[in-house]
Amino acid sequence: MPATLTSLFTPANLINGNWSFEGDGTFNAVVDKYHGTELAKLPNATEAQMEDAIVAAHESREVLRKMTAGERSAKLEALATLIEKHQDDLAKLIVQEGGKPIGYAKTEIARCITTVKTAAAEALRFGGEVVPMDFGAGAGRTAITKRFPIGVIAAITPFNFPLNLVLHKVAPAMAVGCPVVLKPAPQAPLSAIVLGRFMEEIGWPKGAFSVLMCGVPVAEKLVKDDRVAMLSFTGSDKVGWHLKAICGKKKVALELGGNAAVIVDEGTDLPAIAKSVAMGANLYAGQTCISTQRIYAVKSVFAEFRDLLVKEFNALKSGDPNDASVSVGPIIDKGHFERIGAWVDEALNGGATLLAGGKAVDPNCNIYAATLLTNTKDSMKVSCAEVFGPVAVLEEVKDFSDAIAAVNDSTYGLQAGVFTTRIAHMKQAHDELEVGGIIINSIPGFRIDPMPYGGIKDSGLGREGLKYAMEEMSEPRLLVY
């Protein structure tokens, strides 16, 4: 059993530059997701402590406003250097607190470094524009815009990328000069606590970054507070839309769920696609919002692709996420583990056909087999809802147009993968698919951190990706002379 990386984090909340080991008397226990051992207990903050964090963030706006772009960029470069220095231990911590396979955890840390370095670069080139005005009533005048930070950012983040999705909020906020109050996921908050230590080490202004665990009422205080200029939330659609409803007039960015789809066209490399799709549906036990969940293969290739995909699903290794050969590790907790099994059973009882998996591999460690279903109905949860587990459905469609219609028949619209060799079909997908991003000849789980990332419908509002998040966290001010 790996040793707990206790030297990397402080089991406390960072509030206005001070580490607090006390809260409301309750604690959030963080456990190793594979071994079940306790890693840490974090105190849940009181409403008064949240008030302290909000006040400190609000007061730090002037300090950040006076920092030059060069100074903000240098702080971000220093943060990237710290993450790089501790990358091995950070990856191990993510394995422990998140249950993420070690190879994928190392990839997350590499992405963290890219995220912060990109923010450092964007801080130097981010600006306004010259507005064309030298005509009509504007003749002889010049107009320019300059972008200003909007103020305090309330950041609420999920467990599945416990550091990189935090940095997708914190790094752009640092780049434009916005203070942040962060509430990380209770299942995996330790990486965010480590970030608090790093922020101290780089000399980020006191009070401009707080990170604290808390219960729902205290978190809602943060969301509702009028001194907070923007809510940036990544998590479930149910929670996200609730928070939007209660947050008042502030700006909102929501990165929510999905049941990402893949289209497999004729004339494509079916063996390679099967390998990619199987991994895309099951890596990290499918616990990403762009995990491949719905697969539509055109009739002419369906049977061949089905057989290839079943073989790839069965070849995936489940087990200890510390093992570099494992793709399917533990589900984040027992509740979600049992829910996934119940959804699969519901589909099978409703007439779906099991092609692979469909059972628990290790109930003690919350490991569920890589599962592939077919002959499902659109009303089944494994199809219409977000499984967030190692479960996918494969269905036959008549042709490419029918595949697009099937993808669009969803309340979600985050990303879709389209495997095709036809330029016309690529253009059709871009024109007709109702999603935030279309990935050609790759799975929907493809994401490069600087790209605009986000969805439509129940998948959210706004875009992340460093420059795009910086635009969300700033506002243009017009000058005409």
Q: Which residue has the tokens 């489940």?
A: 318
Sign of CA dihedral 158, 163, 168, 171: positive
Q: Is 247 a catalytic residue?
A: no
Supply 442's token pair.
């790759």
Round to whole Å and give the CA distance between 460 and 260: 14
Report in angstroms the alpha-carbon separations of 457 from 180, 212, 247, 292. 27, 31, 19, 18
The end-to-end CA distance of the chain, in Å, is 68
- Classify 33 as helix, strand or coil: coil
Query: What's the residue count for the chain?
Result: 481
Catalytic residue among 97, 108, 122, 255: 255
Those residues whose C-beta lies under 8 Å from the C-beta of residue 198, and which sit 6 or more positions away, are 79, 82, 83
* Contact of 80 with 120, CB cutoff 8 Å: yes
Give the number of other CB atoms < 10 A from CB of residue 334: 13
> Minimal CA–CA distance to 42: which of 22, 53, 28?
28
Catalytic residue among 289, 365, 395, 471: 289
Supply 417's token pair.
């993968």
The kind and range of the H/E element at 223 are helix 216-224
Q: What is the dihedral of CA 361, 365, 366, 371, to 10 degrees?
A: -30
Those residues whose C-beta lies under 8 Å from the C-beta of residue 365, and which sit 6 or more positions away, are 34, 35, 36, 330
Those residues whose C-beta lies under 8 Å from the C-beta of residue 401, and which sit 6 or more positions away, are 428
Measured N-to-C along each axis, helices 216-224 and 47-59 cross at an angle, to the nearest 10 degrees, of 30
Q: Is 289 a catalytic residue?
A: yes
Supply 50's token pair.
């949240």
Report in angstroms the alpha-carbon separations of 295 from 81, 202, 272, 432. 40, 46, 15, 17
Those residues whose C-beta lies under 8 Å from the C-beta of residue 64, and which sit 6 or more positions away, are 72, 149, 177, 178, 179, 205, 208
* Active site residues per annotation: 255, 289
